[in-house]
Amino acid sequence: MPNEINRAYDSVSDPETPQKRQEQLDESIKKFLANGGKIEKIPTGMTGEEYKEYKKGLEYKMRVAMDLRFKSEVAKLENDIQWCKEIIELINDIDSEK
């Protein structure tokens, strides 16, 4: 078996022209964006997988930060509620002395 090369030597299947291929790619991108996809720029020196992991880390940090902020706001509200209860008790005590 001399040097066999696996090529299609059909004269029927012409390679696509660059313009036709670009039109197909543009159409694919339009469909992708129409279905809610988004195109992101990956920072230089970072692979797609590294970027996804980096982004997951940022999203996690944001969730934790928001959770901590929410907890601190809840704690402030609980303190305010306790203060209001104490004021109401004082008012009730004053009213009951009258």
- What does the pLDDT look like over 29-83, one tens digit per residue? 999 999 999 888 888 888 888 888 888 888 888 888 888 888 888 888 888 888 9
Which pTM was predicted?
Answer: 0.38
Residue extents of the structural domains in the chain: 18-97
User: For 78-98, what is the mean pLDDT?
Assistant: 85
User: For 2-17, what is the mean pLDDT?
Assistant: 64
List Cα–Cα distances, 85 to 11, 12, 47, 67, 73, in angstroms: 89, 87, 57, 27, 18
